[in-house]
Amino acid sequence: MYHDSEEWQITPLSGNTGQAYMGVSKDEKVFFKRNTSPFIAALAAEGITPKLKWTQRTYTGDILTAQEWEEGQLLNKQDMANQEVIDLIRSIHQNDSLLNLLKRAKAQESSPLDLIKDYYQGLPHSLKFHSYFNHIIQQMEHMIDRDFLEIDYCICHGDLNHNNFLLTNDQHLYLVDWDNVKIADPLFDICYLLCHYFSPTEWMQWFNLYEFPITDSFQKRVKWYSLLACLNLIKEYYAEDRHYQVNETIVLLKNIYEN
């Protein structure tokens, strides 16, 4: 792999996409990503992801981006309740300039029905025909009313996983891996994080730290997006053969649905 006549030593980085690499050339180290979101330049300019160095099309037709390599550490599960994490998520959700940029790039808003369609994309046969899951989805479709469609949609990262938060050695917090970015209800992002990391008894504490507006529609939207988050987590865990986590999340899904 080359750029400006330099040869790079490439090392694949762990992750589920197989698209990220560390590149080393002489004394320079960069983070390479193949076919990442074109939105990455704007995110880097805002300081949400590390600085963009260059973008280049490879001979195979892929788009390769190089970003500054930042020394630091990924967050762990316990960090997802830290105020710094919550503040970063809220600042992204409230960033109108990035939202307008995405809209100008013809990004469509993802309604609840769109998100259900996304769930069915690539869904394994045994989950697609699971009677209990399909019953819940039918009920979710009946729950959708004007309150779900008339709220302000925002930029959602789409995968608020602790491994996507990088805290650098100089204490700057970045959010990386924007391949699943959407324009949607902020609860799409938040409920995924809450179902992933916290028991329902801890959710209101997190919402209070976020200073989330508690409106008349809040409870039913939290319930709806939590059910969706559980279904998406079951889909992820199933694909990774993590059977204990699948069963754990089914219990959570059942508790949310029945209460």
Residue 179 appears among annotated catalytic residues: no
Return the ∠ at Cα 212 (arms to 148 and 38), rounded to 5°.
Answer: 70
> Do residues 55 and 64 touch, judged by C-beta distance below 8 A?
yes
Element (H, E) at 173: strand 173-175
- Pick the catalytic residue from 145, 159, 170, 177: 159
Give the count of alpha carbons within 13 A of 207, CB side only: 16
> Do residues 249 and 133 touch, judged by C-beta distance below 8 A?
no
108: tokens are 């469509």
Find residue 174's DSSP bridge partners.
166
CA-closest candidate to residue 32, choices 75, 62, 5, 76: 62
SS3 content of the chain, % helix, strand, coil (to 5): 50, 20, 30
Question: How many residues comprise the chain?
Answer: 259
CA distance 223 to 257: 8
Residues with Cβ within 8 Å of 245's Cβ and at least 6 positions away in sequence, in order, are 233, 237
Element (H, E) at 256: helix 243-258
Amino acid at 74: L
Residues serving a catalytic function are 159
